[in-house]
């Protein structure tokens, strides 16, 4: 996956594998398709394909972001399932449990991070560090102000429409 030479049209390659050969060697994407009103073009091999805005934002973000242990392959339903072929869609939907269970990891895309979400991640990292360092004094915990901010931001993240999707329960459970 690359952002493309003009930085506007990502270029992806598609590979076909036998399921037995790829278990634990790919990532799977869990995301909201979003509105069909905003469609962009991406290049898959030599073919231009339409993708919705939310997926386009993910592809651009993912292709430019350094992620530890990033897999070479990623399974994305909108690209890996022929959406025009009802028989294929039915087979793929039936295989969803195998697809998500077989992934090395499942990436959850809630959209581009706002300043608040970046701060929330920073605060969560702070909380994680505090709990990792059990030898720290009890009064070295989270300051009340930071806790209240973290609580408000977590509430905002939990209210994201992503969590209301029917498929999310299955995708997270299998991840």
pLDDT by residue (tens digit) across 130-167? 655 544 444 555 566 666 777 777 777 777 777 777 77
Lowest pLDDT segment from 7-11, 40-44, 72-76, 133-137: 133-137
Q: Are 71 and 104 in contact (CB under 8 A)?
A: yes
Residue 104, pLDDT score: 92
Higher pLDDT, 78 or 126: 78
Q: Minimal CA–CA distance to 157: which of 101, 119, 127, 129?
A: 119
Tell me phi and psi for residue 32, to 5 degrees. Answer: -95, 135
Lowest pLDDT segment from 3-7, 67-71, 106-110, 124-128: 3-7
pTM of this structure: 0.68
The mean pLDDT value of the chain amounts to 80
CA distance 148 to 123: 11
How do residues 19-54 score in pLDDT, each as one tens digit? 888 888 999 999 988 889 999 999 998 899 999 999
DSSP type of residue 2: B
User: Does the pLDDT value for residue 1 go beyond 60?
Assistant: no
The arrangement of strands across the sheet holding 39-44 comes to 11-12, 39-44, 47-52
Name the most confidently modeled range: 60-64, 68-72, 85-89: 85-89
Residue 65, pLDDT score: 81
Higher pLDDT, 156 or 11: 11
Average pLDDT estimate for 59-88:
88
């Amino acid at each position: 996956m690359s952002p493309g030479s003009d930085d506007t049209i990502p270029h992806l390659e598609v590979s076909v594998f036998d399921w037995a050969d790829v278990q634990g060697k790919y990532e799977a994407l869990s995301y909201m398709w979003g509105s069909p009103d905003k469609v962009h073009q991406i290049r898959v091999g030599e073919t231009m394909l339409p993708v919705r805005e939310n997926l386009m934002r993910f592809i651009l973000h993912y292709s430019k972001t350094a992620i530890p242990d990033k897999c070479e392959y990623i399974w994305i339903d909108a690209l890996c399932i022929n959406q025009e072929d009802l028989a294929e869609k039915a087979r793929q939907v039936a295989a969803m449990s195998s697809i998500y269970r077989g992934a090395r990891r499942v990436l959850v895309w809630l959209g581009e991070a706002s300043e608040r979400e970046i701060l929330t991640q920073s605060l969560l990292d702070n909380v994680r560090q505090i709990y990792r360092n059990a030898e720290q004094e009890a009064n070295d915990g989270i300051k009340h102000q930071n806790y209240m901010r973290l609580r408000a931001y977590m509430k905002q993240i939990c209210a994201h429409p992503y969590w209301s999707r029917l498929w999310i329960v299955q995708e997270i459970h299998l991840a």
